[in-house]
Amino acid sequence: MLEKSSKIYVAGHRGLVGSAIWNNLISRGYTNLVGRTHQELDLTDQYAVKSFFDAERPDAVVLAAAFVGGIMANSLYRADFIMMNMKIQCNVISEAYDHGVKKLLFLGSTCIYPKNAPQPMKEDCLLTSPLEYTNEEYAIAKIAGLKMCESYNLQYGTNYIAVMPTNLYGPNDNFHLENSHVMPAMMRKIYLAKLIHEGNWDAISRDMNSRPVEGVDGSADRETILSVLRHYGITDNKVILWGTGRPLREFLWSEDMADASVHVLLNVNFSDIIGIEKYSSVHYGASTDGAVDRNHSTGRGGAIPSLGEIRNCHINVGTGKELTIRELAMLIVKTIGFDGEIEFDASKPDGTMRKLIDVSKLHSLGWTHRVEIEDGVKLLYDWYRSTIEPR
């Protein structure tokens, strides 16, 4: 258990999950937190990351920073998705080890699982068949990250835990139409189509000023705004969405994800996951002065043949519940009060048809979700409106 005075570095503390983890830690009395914006610290810069760890020497690290986006962004920026995420992970995990970090929590994604994995997906189905092509690069990067944690634990006796959240949504979500995930993108599209139908150009201008689309903000003329929104399937009282609407998706409120993450950070060790108590009795982490001997580590898991093959030590985090994309759209329609038309463009890709995860390991470790999807959609809409409404 980390002391309340422990210094905890939250990488990605301004993002959807990182900000929620930061607030959760504060609420639990952990106030010695360290965060850096991308402008202050580029995590893809190896030397900058080393300098940061040299100066701050955190006791624990939460790696919630990542280069992320939806199906369109994953298709367009394949090289960026694998390279940026690999750089971030390698830099942070390596420096955490070199500086004697006691506990590290790595956040991945359930897109790591095969496209045709048996449902619901257990942790053990990792690497059993091909990935979904549209997010293959991001998935490979996240698989590498969880394997880094697992391998450091086995070779050096560290205490690095990887959690794989399902689709997340919540405060500080990304509503930029070019690269947002399915729920915020859908919500904003439906909201803007409603405003266009109502002729509410004041609200449209505020929305576009808050989050310009392809450089177009609320100061542009109406035809320019309508033209750029049409490109994303947004017209007068009508929204066109990608795919058939048939894929099933599971969603988790980001503050629930944060609570699960902090629960694991504070209460779960690698030995708890692999079920071997004696594993942690000999050695966890580097020496107290931060010095590291990469050639010798007493009691490391990888040096004990009797342990057999240890893999899939990550933890799924979700609700274990799902709904179709069409059902989600109808839930958003009801929440916003939209009376227009929703059209699905079946010529566009659906992505993976089903991505439900098995959360029995998480439940066995003492945590379950609280916010159901019906309440969460309303909470997200209220938050989104609060970012563009006049104060």
Sign of the CA dihedral running 330, 335, 339, 343:
negative
Contact between 167 and 251 (Cβ < 8 Å): yes
Tokens of 29: 């009395």
Radius of gyration of the chain (CA): 22
| Catalytic member of 30, 97, 113, 138 | 138
Question: For residues 168 and 187, what is the distance between their CA atoms, to the nearest angstrom?
Answer: 14
Residues 314-333: b if buried by 16+ CB within 10 A, e if exposed: bbbbbbbebbbbbebbebbb
Active site residue 77: no
Give yes or no for a cis peptide into 120 (omega within 30° of 0).
yes
Terminal Cα-to-Cα distance of the chain (whole angstroms): 42
Sign of the CA dihedral running 78, 52, 163, 286:
positive
Contact between 318 and 215 (Cβ < 8 Å): no
Residues noted as catalytic:
138
